[in-house]
């Protein structure tokens, strides 16, 4: 039985804090590899922000708003997820402004690791309160990248099992194939 007075004491009361994670990327286009990381990442948080971030060093096929619209459509039944975008801003700053605790990232191979390590260390320096959490890709998605998918669709291949049908339709429209 609770001791009288103890349960209501401000010292013993733990305020339930929502754990917010962010999964940011170019998503040009989102692949099933990205969607798998999103699905599994949900288990780590109460809220997941999926953010299309504009990479100034990459030229894109889909506009930012097209990528946001695709992700919103695919993820519409997941109430824990908010899809958004940001540009001209550091992920660390965006995360701080939105009360984020976890940066979620996916890893496919050693080449990913080198880039991701650099990003994680830079983000830790800029925002020490943030933790970057890496999820290994599932083997069936380890070969998937946005650029590979664009090439497959451009050359007349099928995106089945690699991109969502909604994404494939939009990619075909954009690439005029």
DSSP state of 19: -
Of 23-31, 78-86, 94-102, 166-174, the window that binds ligand ADP (rule: CB under 6 A) is 23-31
Cα–Cα distance measured from residue 25 to residue 90, given in angstroms and rounded to the nearest whole number: 12
Q: Binding ligand ADP by CB under 6 A: which of 144, 149, 153, 167?
A: 144
Of 14-22, 25-33, 78-86, 165-173, the window that binds ligand ADP (rule: CB under 6 A) is 25-33
13 vs 140, beta carbon nearer ligand ADP = 140
25 counts as binding ligand ADP under rule CB under 6 A: yes
N-to-C CA span, the chain: 69
Among this protein's residues, is 58 annotated catalytic? yes
Burial 70-100 (b: 16+ CB within 10 A, else e): bbeebbeeeeebbbbbbeeeebbebbeeeeb
141 counts as binding ligand ADP under rule CB under 6 A: yes
**Number of other CB atoms surrounding residue 68 within 10 Å:** 18
67 counts as binding ligand ADP under rule CB under 6 A: no
Q: Binding ligand ADP by CB under 6 A: which of 20, 38, 106, 168?
A: 106
Strand 20-25, strand 102-107: pairing: parallel
Residues within window 77-96 making contact with ligand ADP, judged by CB under 6 A: none
105 counts as binding ligand ADP under rule CB under 6 A: yes
| Per-residue CA distances from 153 to 11, 29, 40, 173 (Å) | 59, 11, 27, 10
Q: Binding ligand ADP by CB under 6 A: which of 26, 50, 68, 168?
A: 26
Task: Report residue 21: phi and psi, to 5°.
Answer: -115, 155
Binding site for ligand ADP (CB under 6 A): 25-27, 31, 33-34, 37, 55, 105-108, 112, 137, 141, 144-146
């Amino acid at each position: 039985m609770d001791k009288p007075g103890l349960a209501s004491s401000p010292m013993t009361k733990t305020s339930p804090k929502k754990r917010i994670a962010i999964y940011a990327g170019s998503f040009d286009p989102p692949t099933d590899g990205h969607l798998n990381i999103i699905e599994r990442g949900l288990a780590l948080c109460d809220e997941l922000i999926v953010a299309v971030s504009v990479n100034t060093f990459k030229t894109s096929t889909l506009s930012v708003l097209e990528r946001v619209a695709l992700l919103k459509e695919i993820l519409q039944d997941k109430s824990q997820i908010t899809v958004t975008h940001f540009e001209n801003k550091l992920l660390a700053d965006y995360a701080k402004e939105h009360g984020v605790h976890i940066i979620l990232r996916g890893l496919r191979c050693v080449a990913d690791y080198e880039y991701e390590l650099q990003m994680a260390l830079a983000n830790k320096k800029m925002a020490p309160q943030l933790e970057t959490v890496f999820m290994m890709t599932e083997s069936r998605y380890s070969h998937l990248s946005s650029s590979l998918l664009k090439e497959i669709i451009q050359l007349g291949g099928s995106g089945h099992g690699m991109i969502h049908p909604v994404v494939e339709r939009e990619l075909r429209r954009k690439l005029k194939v």
